[in-house]
Amino acid sequence: MAWDFSTDPDFQVQLDWADAFVRTEVARLDLLWPHDTYKPLTDQQRAIVDPLKKQVREQGLWACHLGRELGGQGYGQLKLALLNEVLGRSKWGPRIFGTQAPDTGNAEILAHYGTPEQKARYLAPLLEGDIVSCFSMTEPQAGADPGEFTTRAVRDGDHWVINGSKFFSSNARWASFLIVMAVTDPEAGVRNRMSMFLMPADTPGIEIVRDVALFGDPEGEGSHALITYTDVRVPADALLGEEGDAFGVAQTRLGGGRVHHAMRTVGLAQEALDMMAERALSRWTKGSALADKQAVQAFLADSYIQVQQFRMFVLYTAWQIDRYQDYQRVRKDIAAIKVLTPKVLHDVVQRAIQVHGALGVTDELPLMSMSLTAQVLALADGPTEVHQVTVARQLLREYTPADGLWPSAHIPTRRAQAQQELFGDVPV
């Protein structure tokens, strides 16, 4: 029996340290520079940020998503899930702890598929937290459906020449390098028609047409680039992984990324619940606290139940990844928590907003921003509906059609069978 819901006491000490550190030191960055989490640091910011990162390293909590051989802690996904709950409440938390998406996923594929030269050039500075990277896959006309991608890479002697356009390439404006997915064999099936390319952001022919902003981003702060690639020439060794292998490379990246989003969202949903509970106890109307109204009690109870179910499912999924070391084997549950992530956050945040009344919809509280995050999480790394299809397909593999006309649970058929097995043709 190895079902254990307790945390190692030593690791709990580290989690408690991280929790206090994020609530005090890191929270200040969230308040002062909420839109700067991916930007190169100003001198003023570096003077604050570098010592904070140093403290995280000293605590053995830097880059916890990575194995020891890559400068991480080798803690595995379960410990990472518990830490990410703490970091998920803060915008700057992941950057200060070296676990910031999409750099985490990009580091993961560089570690898996990169040559020693590629690792030295791109992975090492990324792991140091000195630079930002960009994953450029989604296309304006194709969304994230690889079967519809048209960005093309054509071999020309010792080089590849890339032409096409990409949409929502996050942080391209601040990235030092881009990972670009392009069609190298249009005749091949969807799993073999694309290859992944690494290129410095200043490679000639890469043009950011515009930086699309999310709702609520201040003027000029958009960071999701529409990019055109025009005769972008990269050497043959810019291939990340084998030619034709981009589909598999992307899956490696997205598997981990989706789980990490879910882990952080547990923390964010808990934060919304905490806010709701505090407000319910603090606000009085018609002679009693909101906490005494049945409707508000139902909000609190439903939110607690949803967050707990979600948390257990995320931890169980992390535990499975550690145990089997195979994202593919855990695919159904990764897709399932990807579906749950925006749903749980949305539901809890909507109730928290309602309990806060008018204040809830202002920019004086973080709740509307959390609400937008829930909507973003229903799209980024694949829309909810696509993951529902994955869950259903994986689930159906465990079933077969019924034999004969009636469902296998059909009571008259089963009763007749039981009678036959126990008494043969003797009437009951």
Give helix then strand counts, H and E, for the chain. 14, 10
The interface region with ligand FAD, picked from 168-176, 187-195, 322-330, 351-359 by CB under 6 A, is 168-176
Residue among 107 and 291 whose Cβ is closer to ligand FAD: 107
Which residues touch 143 (CB under 8 Å, ≥6 apart)? none
DSSP letter string over 263-286?
Answer: HHHHHHHHHHHHHHHHHHHH-EET
Q: Which two tokens stand for residue 409?
A: 């649970």
Instruction: Select from 389, 395, 402, 418 the one that contacts ligand FAD (CB under 6 A).
Output: 389
Strand partners, 161: 154, 233
Which residues touch 427 (CB under 8 Å, ≥6 apart)? none
170 binds ligand FAD (CB under 6 A): yes
Q: Tell me how far, at minimum, the Cβ of 193 lies from ligand FAD, in Å.
A: 17
Give dist(CA 414, CA 428) in Å, integer.
Answer: 15
DSSP letter string over 197-211?
Answer: EEEETT-TTEEEEEE
Instruction: Select from 149, 168, 177, 310 the one that contacts ligand FAD (CB under 6 A).
Output: 168
Which residues touch 253 (CB under 8 Å, ≥6 apart)? 105, 106, 108, 109, 135
Q: With 0-12 CB in 10 A as exposed, 13-18 as middle and 19+ as buried, what is 143?
A: middle
Rounded to the nearest 5°, which phi and psi values hold at 403? -75, 130
Residue among 295 and 379 whose Cβ is closer to ligand FAD: 379
Residue among 120 and 389 whose Cβ is closer to ligand FAD: 389
222 binds ligand FAD (CB under 6 A): no
Instruction: Select from 84, 104, 169, 270 the one that contacts ligand FAD (CB under 6 A).
Output: 169
Binding mask 177-216 for ligand FAD (x = CB under 6 A): ----------------------------------------
Q: Tell me how far, at minimum, the Cβ of 222 lies from ligand FAD, in Å.
A: 11
Q: Tell me how far, at minimum, the Cβ of 22 lies from ligand FAD, in Å.
A: 22
3-state percent breakdown (helix, strand, coil) of the chain, nearest 5:
55, 15, 30
Instruction: Select from 117, 187, 363, 385 the one that contacts ligand FAD (CB under 6 A).
Output: 385
Q: What angle do CA 63, 372, 319 make, to 5 degrees?
A: 40
Q: Tell me how far, at minimum, the Cβ of 136 lies from ligand FAD, in Å.
A: 6
Residue among 166 and 279 whose Cβ is closer to ligand FAD: 166
**Applying CB under 6 A, what is the total number of residues that bind ligand FAD?**
20
Q: Tell me how far, at minimum, the Cβ of 238 lies from ligand FAD, in Å.
A: 18
Cβ–Cβ under 8 Å, residues 200 and 156: no
151 binds ligand FAD (CB under 6 A): no
257 binds ligand FAD (CB under 6 A): no
Residue among 168 and 319 whose Cβ is closer to ligand FAD: 168
CB-closest chain residue to ligand FAD: 143
* Residues between 68 and 107 that touch ligand FAD (CB under 6 A): 102
Q: Provide the binding-site residues for ligand FAD, judged by CB under 6 A.
A: 102, 135-138, 143-144, 168-170, 224, 376, 379-383, 385-386, 389
